[in-house]
Structure 1
Amino acid sequence: MMEHFISLLASLLCVLTVSYIISSKLRFPVIPIYIVAGIVFSLAFHVHEPHIFEVLGVILLLFFIGLEFSIAELEKNLRAILSVGFIDLVFNTLPVFLVAKLLGFDSFTSLVISVVLYPSSSAIVSKLLIDLKKLANPEVETVLSILVFEDIAAAVLLAILMSFSGGAPSPEGVVKVLIKVSLFIAIAFIAIKNLNKFVDYAFKTFGSSTEFTVLFTATVLFLAVEVTFGFGLSESIGAFVAGMLFAESSYKEQIESVVIPYRDLFGALFFLAFGLSIDLTSFSTSIVLPLTVLLIISFVAKIATGIVAVRLYKLGTKRGLSAGLMLLPRGEFSILVAATKPELVPLTAAYVLLSASLGSIAMKESGRILNLFFKKKPKKKSKLTRSQLLGD
């Protein structure tokens, strides 16, 4: 059994390495390529992923997302984040929910679909902003505020939906879960505000060697996950809160340096495992219509979000369209949410692949797209003579 697992792991790591090389050569986001590689590998060798990859991938992805947040920064920019965040939430869940209902899905499935299509991929968007050298664009502040809100909202929504993974919730069940989530968030907020001193004390007392940093961070992380299980919630929100706790530590940069390799490894295995879990026989032509309609409505909603949200930052329509294009790719959270409703996995897989691919292309070619809608103002010809311009 162990030999089989090692052989499988070695094969999967080879696939991941080749996938990354292909991604680098094509200068294309790696997440869709990992998923496609998982599908191809599953077809060739008829394997299904070990569940441990999925669980560790979720925990480390959410932990690192939480690690990027600072309570102080959130409090400082809270008004702006909430303003653009609620615009984004309403624009990208309500229309999708209504369209899903019109397509024939029941209310709970329509809700799950709206959450699947709601959050942009922080991993893809952030990487593209860096690779395409767009961080200096004025609309990026709006985009980052939206991503911050989405990561928090998506983690909470995921925790709620995972509580109902067994089927559609009853009104009493909804109230019960909301109380649990609210209580957990309140306790977590108090813990984050006060336990950062304990984290700093531990590092000062026992040193900050790489070995201690890994062991201590992992201990706190998995204890936080265990606490969320005690509340009947998913591991995702516990990992997210643990990340926020360490984000307040004076040793944040050192913690990041030791966590990133594990995040990259198990995050890659998570996306590959998602591909492995996809059964192509479950795909049918019946998903073409809902996929097309949902892709169009979700793209329109994100672009509308960008156009409206940038006005709070006193930017114009052109910058709003650019912001909307930056928000098109979906990724990690969509996959996590789809796991709560297994019958949506084929639809979600196709949607993530298309939105990540088309969104990445749209962001890369945003200059040309903007020029189609906003003509460049012609430069005024100077009235000075050539000799005057040359200083003669």
Structure 2
Amino acid sequence: MESFTSILSLFMTALFLSYLIAEKFKFPVIPIYIITGILISLFYHFHSVHVFEALGVILLLFYIGLEFSLAEMEKNFKNIVGVGTVDFIFNFFPVFLAARLLGFDLMSSFVIAVILYPSSSAIVSKLLIDLKKLANPEVEPVLAILVFEDIAAATLLAILVNFSSGNPSSTEVLKVVVKIALFIFFAFIFVKNFNRVVDFLIEKYGTATEFLVLLVGTILFILVEAATGFGLSEAIGAFTAGTLFAETSHKDRVEQVVIPYRDLLGALFFLSFGLSIDLSKVNYSIIVPLAVFLVLSFLTKILTGIVSGKLYGLSLKRGASAGLMLLPRGEFSILVAATTPKLVPFTAIYVLISSVLGSIAVKESGKILSIFFKKKKAKTKSKLTRSQLLGD
């Protein structure tokens, strides 16, 4: 079982069966992939899966960037920043304070807050599509929040990669923030101008699949290397590459080419994450913090939806529905946990529970909201005649 081909054949079979199970029970496939990885780890221990983790991160972040439009952000900048700021304040600081009160040190509290802050773009997007909720008015603030979270989480992840070895000083934090700001500045200029070069290359050499794959791969890994050269994570470089192709006139064609690679490597990433979880290291001491963080993080997301809905002029019920859509956590939480190995078991269980309960909440949102928001009964005209009503 140590040869690369035997490992890959096992993984592919496991992923295929996981997908069938998810489809059978109409469940998001990401938590199923993680559970499958955990189950496999009980019987086999692998040492050659890091390449899947790295490539999975790069392709996931590239695709998220590909769905991100600078033009749309400039157009809706005020709304995105408004609801994004509300989301960050409501979901980062309460968790950080709760972690400190539960006895976690400063750095661990910060990491936990970053883990629990962003909703899962992958899970939420798939749920909205599968459940045909994209036309709902509350989806607009939800998507604005997800855009803000993608940028903020990628930045926070870049900071954590630099400080995963210990507690940073204020000077070190400032240096990393400056590096991130410089990289974002140069990346913005690059994306705004180099997209014309990409358009020219595609128009000159055609949209053949092989050419697009090679072009995307070349630019993607050059920008990933540029990000690491700045001392940042591969994630922010991959995200930048995605935004570059999002600004071209061939975005849809590039997306069609990338999706199969994203799905395959993304699935291997989540499976690899499950493999990295050692259940023997999970002890009862995490039960109380886990329960506290689950309740707190769910309440703050629902509150976020309500307040964000108000900013968009939506009713209280629609705002609560938006909050339910934001409950699942996923890919970014897992990426952040990888910077702090001791928090991986906690994160794995949290992501599993939040993704399962969050998916159920979105699917059954109508029934859940009907409990708290009773429908007003429409007044019906009596079918009795006037004389009957008067007792004549």
TM-score for both structures, normalised by structure 2: 0.96
Match of 2:389 in 1: none
> 1:385 and 1:272 mapped to 2: Cα distance?
67
Cα drift, residue 171 of structure 1: 1.0
Q: CA deviation at 1:384?
A: 6.5
Q: Which runs of structure 2 are paired with 1:104-119 in the superposition (5 Å)?
A: 104-119=103-118
| 3-state SS, counterpart of residue 328 of structure 1 | coil
Displacement of 1:46 after TM fit?
Answer: 2.8
Q: Tell me the amino acid that sits aligned with residue 305 of structure 2.
A: G
Give distance in 2, aligned partners of 1:289 and 1:40.
24
Contact kept? 1:49, 1:277, Cα under 8 Å: no
- Kindly provide the amino acid, as one letter, of the partner of residue 190 in structure 1: I
Q: Write out aligned runs for 1:255-266 (5 A).
A: 255-266=254-265
The alpha-carbon deviation at position 383 of structure 1 amounts to: 4.9
> What CA distance in whole angstroms lies between the structure 2 residues aligned with 1:314 and 1:283?
45
User: In structure 1, what residue type is equivalent to 2:46?
Assistant: V
* 1:197 partnered with 2:193: no
1:293 aligns with 2:292: yes
Tell me what 1:267 maps to.
Answer: 266
Displacement of 1:95 in angstroms is 0.1
In structure 2, the partner of 1:390 is none
> Which residues of 2 match residues 17-56 of structure 1 at below 5 A?
17-48=16-47, 50-56=49-55
Which residue does the alignment assign to 1:247?
246
For the residues of structure 2 that align with 1:49 and 1:29, how far apart are their CA atoms? 27
1:155 aligned onto 2:154: yes
Q: What letter is aligned with 1:290?
A: P
Aligned to 1:173: 172
Question: 1:65 maps to which residue?
Answer: 64
Aligned to 1:366: 365
Where structure 2 has 5 or more consecutive residues not aligned to the other structure, the ranges are 386-392
> Contact 1:108–1:168 at 8 Å: present in 2 too?
yes
Question: Counterpart of 1:7?
Answer: 6
Please list, as runs of the form range in 1=range in 2, the aligned pairs for 1:116-155 lying within 5 A after superposition: 116-155=115-154
Aligned-partner SS, 1:45: coil
1:115-169 per-residue CA deviation (whole Å, 9 max, x = no partner) reads 0000000111111111111111111111111111111111111111111111111
> Given the alignment of the two structures, is residue 342 of structure 1 paired with residue 337 of structure 2, yes or no?
no
Structure 1: tracts of 5 or more residues without a match: 387-392
Q: Distance in 2 between matches of 1:109 and 1:285?
A: 18
Matches of 2:363 and 2:381, distance apart in 1 = 34
- Structure 1's consecutive aligned runs of 4 or more residues displaced over 4 angstroms after TM superposition are 383-386
Q: Calculate the TM-score normalised by the size of structure 1.
A: 0.96
1:189-216 Cα deviation digits (max 9, x unpaired): 0011101001001112222211100001
Q: Is structure 2 residue 288 aligned with structure 1 residue 279?
A: no
State the distance in 1 between where 2:202 and 2:24 align.
Answer: 41
Deviation string, structure 1 residues 7-44 (Cα, Å, up to 9, x no partner): 00010000000000000000001000000000001112
User: What is the CA deviation profile of residues 247-289 of structure 1, one whole-angstrom value per residue up to 9, with x for unaligned ones?
Assistant: 0011111111110000000000000000000001110000001
The answer for the alignment partner of 1:225 in structure 2 is 224
- The answer on whether the counterparts of 1:42 and 1:48 sit within 8 Å (CA) in structure 2 is no
Q: Distance in 1 between matches of 2:128 and 2:65?
A: 20
* Cα distance in 1 for residues equivalent to 2:48 and 2:342: 18
